A and B are shown apart, each in its own frame.
Chain A
Amino acid sequence: MRTLHPFTLLAVAAALPALAWILPAPGGGLATLLVALSLTLTPGASPGPAGTGISRSWRPGLVVFRTALFTAAPFWLFLLLLHDVRTTVAIGLRISTMVASFVWLAAVLAPDRLVEATVARGWSVTAAYLFAATLSAVPVLKARARRIVEAQRCRGLSPRGSVANRFRALRALALPLVLSALHEVDERTLALESRGLVSGARRTSLAPPPDRVVERVVRWGLLLLCLAALVRRLA
């Protein structure tokens, strides 16, 4: 799955939620959710034990499957509080499809391949940067948040205990995290500028992922399928 072209992965992850909302409920939502959950079980939908990329068994796929289910669960709860069972099922299936598709995409889409694909396709460097920087910011911010929490703990602030304690700890985490990120912007701008990331630069793609004919056909097929479903629904 990870060897597929990043645009194909994006197309699948976009088409499933689109179809979930276009097709009549609850059948459409159920069908797309089953497909999305099946995808989360596919080999390769998890970094695997060594974090080196492709897993060969179904077991790591279960991690992604479980993540999708756990992420979608709270939405069902909220929907049930707000709507009747029929509406809850209709919307819940659609939202679950969105969640499962996104979780699957996050598991299989390698950011570096996406960057290379966008650069190879001739997108502007700044657009590719926006994609990649957003994706790579997550682990950086997580690591920094961990360091801030450790520092706060060393100074006696515990993130455990009452709600008030936890809120205090959250505030002590959020402020330095946001301020440090803002503080970095100036220097990062200078660094990127000095390393040639300027508007209009013609960046060389280092390792463009292969884009096979069959994948292009699949992408167009998905687009046509969504359009056809939309036309049929509106007719």
Chain B
Amino acid sequence: MTPLALEEVTFWYPATETPALRDVALEVAAGEIVALVGKVGAGASTLLLVAADLAPRVTGGRLAGAVRRRARSGIVLPTPWTQLSGMAFTVWDEVAFGPANLGWPGHEIARHVDHALERLEIVSLAARDPVTLSGGELQRVIVAGLLAMDPDLMLLDEPTAELDPAGARSVWRLLRLLAGEGKAIVVATSELDAVPDVADQVVWLDDGAVRAIGTPQLLAEDAACDDGLGTTVARIWRAAGLAPPYPLTVADAVRRWP
């Protein structure tokens, strides 16, 4: 059973005539990671809000089409500091904020929070006041907060934007692990070089519509490279005038180097 299915979804924000999403159809299976790529304003964030049942329920606006969710979802929004609960004065309490709101028993909350802190490698921050954290630390805390709620469908909007390269790699590895445990994950990212190693499926959004859906190999195609959505290696290969198909990653390029 697919945790998330969007059927011909069109969505308008309040007081706008132009839809932010147009006829989007998408299915996300359990254990699958779907990467949403596209230019700024392509509709990736809106798609995540729709998938999380926040649009139009909270944002307002109008939705046409059908959204079928068969799993409990959780979302990480792009700016970590706006996602602080304001009700927690330590990182541990911040991560526990979601589970506590779900009314779980205390020991269950503690187990999930400790596990989430371990997985995001932020156990040492547990007693810190969240407002004193750096952007990268905060981003991990927010992801840990989502993880502690144990959603079956994880929706992440630029989850590595504030992280250093090592921190970003660690989050991508974690997402692969979570997918291996059966979670369905949809991630909007502009870190295109990470996509081939992380995503099973890539959805290329353009002006609110799905322009293409496929494997990460999509990011090595001419059309994607023309639109600035190729991976760095693919674009360099292409710029060097080497023959297609272009490699996606450094490892690919090394294998195919003439």
**How many residues belonging to A are interface residues under a CB distance threshold of 8 Å?**
34
B87 adjacent to A190 (CB under 8 Å) = no
23 examples of A-B residue contacts, CB within 8 angstroms:
A133-B86, A133-B87, A137-B86, A139-B129, A140-B84, A140-B131, A187-B77, A187-B79, A187-B82, A188-B83, A190-B59, A190-B75, A194-B52, A194-B75, A194-B77, A195-B83, A195-B97, A195-B145, A203-B101, A204-B100, A204-B106, A205-B100, A206-B106
Add 16 more A-B contacts to A190-B49, A190-B75 (CB < 8 A).
Answer: A112-B88, A112-B93, A128-B87, A136-B131, A139-B129, A143-B131, A190-B58, A191-B83, A191-B85, A193-B58, A194-B54, A195-B83, A201-B103, A204-B103, A206-B93, A206-B109
* Cα–Cα distance between A203 and B52 once the two chains are bound (Å): 21
Which among A110, A140, A191, A203 is the interface contact of B103 at CB below 8 angstroms? A203
Which among B85, B109, B131 is the interface contact of A195 at CB below 8 angstroms? B85
Contacts of A28 in B (CB 8 A): none
* Cα–Cα distance between A170 and B49 once the two chains are bound (Å): 37
A139 with B131: in contact, given A194-B74, A204-B100, A206-B93 (CB under 8 Å)?
A: yes
A206 adjacent to B96 (CB under 8 Å) = yes
Main secondary structure of the interface of B (DSSP, over half): loop
Min Cβ gap A185→B in Å is 9
The reply on A115 being an interface residue by CB < 8 A is yes
The reply on A129 being an interface residue by CB < 8 A is yes
Which among B93, B101, B109 is the interface contact of A125 at CB below 8 angstroms? B101
* Cα–Cα distance between A167 and B177 once the two chains are bound (Å): 55
Which 7 A-B pairs have CB atoms at the shortest separation, nearest pair first?
A196-B101, A133-B86, A191-B83, A112-B89, A195-B98, A187-B82, A132-B87
Interface residues of A (CB under 8 A from B): 110-112, 115, 125, 128-129, 132-133, 136-137, 139-140, 143, 184, 186-198, 201-206
A204 adjacent to B105 (CB under 8 Å) = yes
B101 adjacent to A193 (CB under 8 Å) = no
Which among A186, A190, A197 is the interface contact of B85 at CB below 8 angstroms? A197
The reply on B90 being an interface residue by CB < 8 A is yes
A190 adjacent to B105 (CB under 8 Å) = no
Residue of B nearest to A185 (CB): B82
The reply on B149 being an interface residue by CB < 8 A is yes
The bracket for how many chain B residues form the interface is 35 or more
User: Which interface residue of A110, A136, A194, A201 has the most chain B CB atoms within 10 A?
Assistant: A194
A136 adjacent to B89 (CB under 8 Å) = yes
Contacts of A191 in B (CB 8 A): 77, 82-83, 85
Identify which of residues 93-140 in chain B touch chain A, using a CB-to-CB cut-off of 8 Å. 93, 96-106, 109, 129, 131
Min Cβ gap A201→B in Å is 5
* Cα–Cα distance between A205 and B101 once the two chains are bound (Å): 9
B100 adjacent to A206 (CB under 8 Å) = yes
B86 adjacent to A136 (CB under 8 Å) = yes
A129 adjacent to B86 (CB under 8 Å) = yes
* Cα–Cα distance between A22 and B188 once the two chains are bound (Å): 61
Render B210-224 as a binary contact track against A, CB cut-off 8 A, 1 for contact.
000000000000000
* Cα–Cα distance between A185 and B96 once the two chains are bound (Å): 22
* Cα–Cα distance between A191 and B98 once the two chains are bound (Å): 10
* Cα–Cα distance between A73 and B98 once the two chains are bound (Å): 44
* Cα–Cα distance between A55 and B36 once the two chains are bound (Å): 52
* Cα–Cα distance between A192 and B87 once the two chains are bound (Å): 10
Contacts of B59 in A (CB 8 A): 186, 190
Contacts of A125 in B (CB 8 A): 101
Min Cβ gap B133→A in Å is 11
Residue of A nearest to B96 (CB): A206
Residue of B nearest to A184 (CB): B82
* Cα–Cα distance between A196 and B149 once the two chains are bound (Å): 9
User: Which interface residue of A112, A140, A192 has the most chain B CB atoms within 10 A?
Assistant: A192
Min Cβ gap A63→B in Å is 20
* Cα–Cα distance between A194 and B102 once the two chains are bound (Å): 11
* Cα–Cα distance between A195 and B100 once the two chains are bound (Å): 9
Min Cβ gap A111→B in Å is 6
B101 adjacent to A201 (CB under 8 Å) = yes
Residue of A nearest to B142 (CB): A191
